[in-house]
Amino acid sequence: MSLTAAASGFVVFLLSVQVIQAQNGWGVTYTSTQICALKGSTVEINCTYTYPSRINGRDTTVEKTFWFTKLLNKEPVDLRTDSEYAGRLQYICSNNICTLRITDLRESDSAQYKFRFITNQPGGSYTGSPGVTLSVTDLQVQVIRSTVYKNYTEAELLCHSSCRLPDRSSYVWFKNGQKMERVETSSYKDQFYHGDIISCAVKGHEDFCSPSVYAPKLPSVSVSPSAEIVEGSSVTLTCSSDANPAAKYTWYKENQTLLSEEPQLVFSSIQSSDSGEYYCAAENQLGRRTTKYIINVKYAPKLPSVSVSPSAEIVEGSSVTLTCSSDANPAAKYTWYKENEDSPKASGQNFTITDFRAEHSGNYYCEAQNRRGRHNSTLHLIVVAGSLKFPVVLSVIAVVLVFILLLSVFIWIRKSSLQKQPEADETPHNRAEQTDETQDATIRFVRNQAEALYSNYSPAQPLRNEEEVVYAAPNFNSAADAPKLPSVSVSPSAEIVEGSSVTLTCSSDANPAANYTWYKENQTPLQELQGIYHFNSISSEDRGIYHCKSENQYGQINSTSLFVDVHYAPKLPSVSVSPSAEIVEGSSVTLTCSSDANPAANYTWYKENQTLIQGPEGVYNFTSISSKDSGIYHCKSENEYGQINFTSVSIDVQCVTSFPAPTSDFRGKWNGP
């Protein structure tokens, strides 16, 4: 049969009673050999001991009594010397009765306790074995079954203990600190929402509640290393959430691709293509919360691409613009060079020659550079049509040869027609008519071919010196073709700040001219005009990866990705306190502040205008909080673009109640209310 014992501060369950019989007058009797008690409560372990009053004519006196759980060099260690029990242990001994009292029980106090007394007789010491087994446990709330919906969870909970509780025990349930008046059973079924906190207790012992259970709080994400993320480096994202039962974690990227089912998401060598939005979901049986984290990988410029406008023939005296673009983060700065010349020709993404002359012809390239490195484009040949002397001479010679060839054909046909013998039915008059028709047809053929050759020639350029020829290079029409790989650029190419005007430009070599469409990540097409997409006032939500599609009737092709990195001041910080349940004096407490910002924010915690801690983590820890730490705390979040510090949290530290000592005749009876 189970017995129970309770007094103010006591929640003790005596599981069995056993009397140790004395041997030759020596003996120890324990009230119970097994005791189960709740964490935080007080327990008393009782015993009586006996010994012979005289041995060999010598009176027996007791010189020392103590309790122990451990041996050192095979000798029992008095619990009063064990630092783990300092301030929590008391012996109450008199008249051959000794009681061990332990307050503020911890789970580490679970052990087998034995009583030992030492007398003045030779070998006159005695230990009561096997002793008393103490088990310290918490009440636990178990989730028996649950169904998680979008905004709430339906769940059935069970108040459970590894101790055998008294028969017909009643229970008390607490939801968000409020007692649920109509529920006294060990199970509790209800709808639970984010932020709901549930605990239970044995009725009559409400001071010893179970740990609270609750759905995950909004997860926080930390990155290691916490400095700038550079392409090729090893990066670890860690997701954490305050939850009980403990949360399970899953990592996703923008398109909901599952990446990991661990708290950590590890990139052994992160690449520029890894930039983007990531989502961490924390989930337990009571709910699910998701948070977003943006990875912004910094990298040196990729191979720049160069485009020329106009893309058709360059005519002397016209205006020519070269455009250089390179995928880089941070955005690249550009410098233009001409082959075999050391001095730069221009700086900036565009290089314009307003009056193109023969001396401007040649190979050009651009250099894209940021603080992560630099990269040169391949050479791009730009030539004015009127300066191609040798090829033009060859073209004229070729035209003359074709003309001579056609003329030879005409002469041969002419000669053949004159030498042809007349048929029987031919008259001289008919033969002359046929010859004239053949001559006319041949002349028309030669004239048409010559005109066709010269119809594609540009007008003769004015002579400037004796080396120039009469005709410019042929203006042969370009062949129809699908678009080449588009080049994309962002303007301004420097740092982009929230609220500024930003333009995305896409261009591609294509014949006929291409149509363009801009996309953000894998979303619907963005409205644009001729390859240009404009933000009048860009916002933090516009931060992300863009690309454009170039297409005509011969095909289509997507550009490389362009990361638009919008810098902005911190948004309103969110703060949390862990644990979120009642805060008890002496416990460990953590304040956490987080804010959406780019670049990452620095945080400062204050209490009543007193600075507590500053740094990039936003975490302030109390290793052993006291009542004097009660008060209102607020967090300031700031970066180079601004600050915000209107978020506060209140901490109310509960003092530990001192329980009065039980009466000296406490013997394991149930004396509770």
Q: Which CATH number applies to 3-137?
A: 2.60.40.10
Question: Residue 403's pLDDT is what?
Answer: 62
Question: Residue 393's pLDDT is what?
Answer: 46
- pLDDT tens digit sequence for 407-443: 665 665 655 555 555 544 454 555 545 555 555 555 5
CA-closest candidate to residue 608, choices 626, 630, 583, 633: 633
Quote the pTM value.
Answer: 0.52
How far apart (Å, rounded) are the C-alpha atoms in residues 263 and 224?
13
Write the CA distances from 483 to 220, 274, 512, integer angstroms.
45, 27, 9
CA-closest candidate to residue 414, choices 450, 446, 452: 446
Neighbours of 120 (CB within 10 A): 12
- pLDDT tens digit sequence for 12-34: 655 555 555 556 789 999 988 88
Q: Given its phi and psi angles, is residue 555 left (phi above 0), alpha (psi -120 to 50 degrees) or beta? A: left
Q: Given its phi and psi angles, is residue 412 left (phi above 0), alpha (psi -120 to 50 degrees) or beta? A: alpha
Which CATH fold would you assign to the domain 305-387? Immunoglobulin-like (2.60.40)
Kindly tell me the burial class for residue 536, based on how many C-beta atoms sit within 10 Å of its own C-beta (0-12, 13-18, 19 or more). exposed
Question: Residue 364's pLDDT is what?
Answer: 93
Question: Residue 402's pLDDT is what?
Answer: 60
Contact call for residues 138 and 108 (beta carbons, < 8 A): no
Question: Residue 424's pLDDT is what?
Answer: 46
What are the φ and ψ backbone dihedral angles of 56, each rounded to 5 degrees? 55, 45
Contact call for residues 69 and 111 (beta carbons, < 8 A): yes
Q: Given its phi and psi angles, is residue 486 left (phi above 0), alpha (psi -120 to 50 degrees) or beta? A: beta
Name the maximum alpha-carbon separation found in the chain: 178
H helix runs in 586-660, sequence order? none
| Kind and range of the H or E run holding 441 | helix 428-455
How far apart (Å, rounded) are the C-alpha atoms in residues 628 and 611?
16
Give average pLDDT by consecutive 10-residue segment, the chain, 673 residues: 41 56 80 87 92 90 94 93 93 94 92 95 89 90 90 92 76 91 90 91 84 92 89 94 94 85 94 91 93 91 90 84 91 93 91 89 93 90 64 52 63 57 50 53 54 45 36 45 87 87 89 88 73 89 88 89 88 82 81 86 82 78 83 86 78 58 32 27
Q: Which CATH number applies to 220-295?
A: 2.60.40.10
How far apart (Å, rounded) are the C-alpha atoms in residues 258 and 519?
23
Kindly tell me the burial class for residue 242, based on how many C-beta atoms sit within 10 Å of its own C-beta (0-12, 13-18, 19 or more). buried
Residue type at 81 in one-letter notation: T
Q: What are the start-end ranges of the E strands in 573-641?
A: 574-578, 583-584, 589-594, 602-607, 610-615, 619-622, 631-639
What are the φ and ψ backbone dihedral angles of 228, each rounded to 5 degrees? -60, 140
What is the Cβ-side half-sphere exposure of residue 184, based on CA atoms within 13 angstroms? 7
Write the CA distances from 358 to 337, 413, 597, integer angstroms.
17, 46, 53
Question: Residue 669's pLDDT is what?
Answer: 28
How far apart (Å, rounded) are the C-alpha atoms in residues 173 and 181?
8
Contact call for residues 473 and 392 (beta carbons, < 8 A): yes
Asked, as a colleague might, if the bond just before 310 is cis with ω within 30 of 0, I would say yes
Question: Residue 411's pLDDT is what?
Answer: 61
Evaluate whether 220-295 and 305-387 have a shared fold: yes
Tokens representing residue 670 in the block: 């149930």
How far apart (Å, rounded) are the C-alpha atoms in residues 98 and 614?
54
User: What CA dihedral angle connects 383, 385, 388 and 389, to 10 degrees?
Assistant: -150
Domain boundaries, the chain: 3-137, 140-202, 220-295, 305-387, 389-455, 487-564, 574-654
Neighbours of 142 (CB within 10 A): 14
CATH of 487-564, one of 3.10.105.10, 3.40.50.880, 2.60.40.10, 2.10.109.10: 2.60.40.10
The separation between CA 646 and the C-alpha centre of its own chain, rounded to angstroms, equals 26
Residues whose CB is less than 8 angstroms from the CB of residue 460 and which lie 6 or more positions away in sequence, other chains included? 470, 471, 472
Beta strands at 132-137 and 34-38: parallel, antiparallel or unpaired = parallel
Residue type at 573 in one-letter notation: P
What is the Cβ-side half-sphere exposure of residue 302, based on CA atoms within 13 angstroms? 18
Contacts 24+ apart (CB under 8 A), 551-556: 551/483, 551/514, 551/515, 551/517, 552/482, 552/483, 552/510, 552/511, 552/512, 552/513, 552/514, 552/515, 553/512, 554/480, 554/481, 554/482, 554/483, 554/510, 555/482, 555/483, 556/482, 556/483
Write the CA distances from 394 to 385, 447, 472, integer angstroms.
15, 21, 11
Beta bridge partners of 504: 490, 533
CA end-to-end span of the chain, whole Å? Answer: 21
CA-closest candidate to residue 595, choices 643, 631, 641: 643
SS3 content of the chain, % helix, strand, coil (to 5): 10, 45, 45
Question: Residue 447's pLDDT is what?
Answer: 54
The separation between CA 289 and the C-alpha centre of its own chain, rounded to angstroms, equals 14
Residue keyed to tokens 């609220």: 499
Say what angle helices 428-455 and 389-419 make with each other, to 10 degrees: 170
Is 141 in a helix, a strand, or coil?
A: strand
CA-closest candidate to residue 567, choices 233, 329, 398, 384: 329
Contact call for residues 620 and 614 (beta carbons, < 8 A): no
Tokens representing residue 160 in the block: 């459970």
CA-closest candidate to residue 223, choices 550, 543, 616, 499: 616
CA-closest candidate to residue 441, choices 406, 481, 490: 406
Question: Residue 572's pLDDT is what?
Answer: 82
CATH class of 574-654: mainly beta
Residue type at 319 in one-letter notation: S
How far apart (Å, rounded) are the C-alpha atoms in residues 163 and 5?
13
